[in-house]
Structure 1
Amino acid sequence: MSVFQRDLVDLVPVVRAYAHVVTRSSSDADDLLQDTLEKAWCAREQFQPGTSMKAWLFTILRNSHHNQWRRSRRIVEDPNGEHAATLHSEASQGWRAEFGDVLTAIARLEPASRDALLLITVRLSYEEAAVVCESPLRSVQSRVRRARQRLADELDSVPIRTPDQCRAAAGGR
């Protein structure tokens, strides 16, 4: 594990606490924490060693929170779903609907298995995923295996095609 990864994992409780203070909501804080960690991981090359990672993460968290707040001001209240019903349109490409089936199946996985599978999917090693999940290596491996099997079983009845296969079936458009 790199120094960056170790420091990032070590700061998760502090960043989570700050997210709770900023959002005043446990579920919103967890979403904000996840968003912050994802952005930090994607921008890890921009972090300057020797500077405060804590301050860097807090800045990312604060900016993410402000951006979410700005976006939320544009949300239209639609408690009965009437406005949303007028916006409905069919998927323009078949693979989008199939991709939706995959996402739905992933969402149905139990949280521990889903987290382990997604960490492996984004190319973390099993050892790194075990550290992030705070679980033994064998547990993470087992969760990923079960998650893959459940997805395969659930999606077996629905043929999944790649975007290239969909284009080929449509005549190369």
Structure 2
Amino acid sequence: MINKFKKIVIKIGSSSIIDEKTGKVKIKWLNSLCKEIELLANENKNIVVVSSGAIALGKKTISNHKVISRLEDKQAAAAIGQIELANCWQQALRKNKINSAQLLLTLDDSEIRRRYLNVRKTISSLHKNKVIPIINENDTVATEEIRYGDNDRLAARVAQMIDADLLIMLSDVD
């Protein structure tokens, strides 16, 4: 069934990629997923990953795994966690001979036409160069009034932006 789709967006929720008990990336799970992504890439599929997890990763440093309520603490946790998250994605994809790039977006990037087109062209260029974009919301600068709210919404916007044929959501839903 997936054979008929060319452009695929895969959204990864925090609970799928981050171990709740340790607050660390589930490396075995990520490596397994990246092997599947490699198979799709080898079939000339254009893959985009929307990955949550930065705040969950940074939370251990900011609050020793406790709930964070203040916006500035969430932003600090995101700043700490994002670099680790991107590194984990890069290493896991590199094991499968796949290059990756990081894109951090805000709501304005999908609502302001010039920025929307720029993101779209950037993703297209990455695909032409056989690079898989790893996208997350730029939580370090996004305030409540300019946030997507969650990466489900961001993934839907990205899928729309690139005219994706398929959006896969890997998340736990409460």
State the TM-score, normalizing by the size of structure 1.
0.24
Q: Which has the higher contact order (CA 8 A, sep 6+)?
A: 2
Find the structure with the greater CA-based Rg: 1
Give the helix-richer structure, 1 or 2: 1
TM-score (normalizing by structure 2):
0.24
Higher strand share: 2
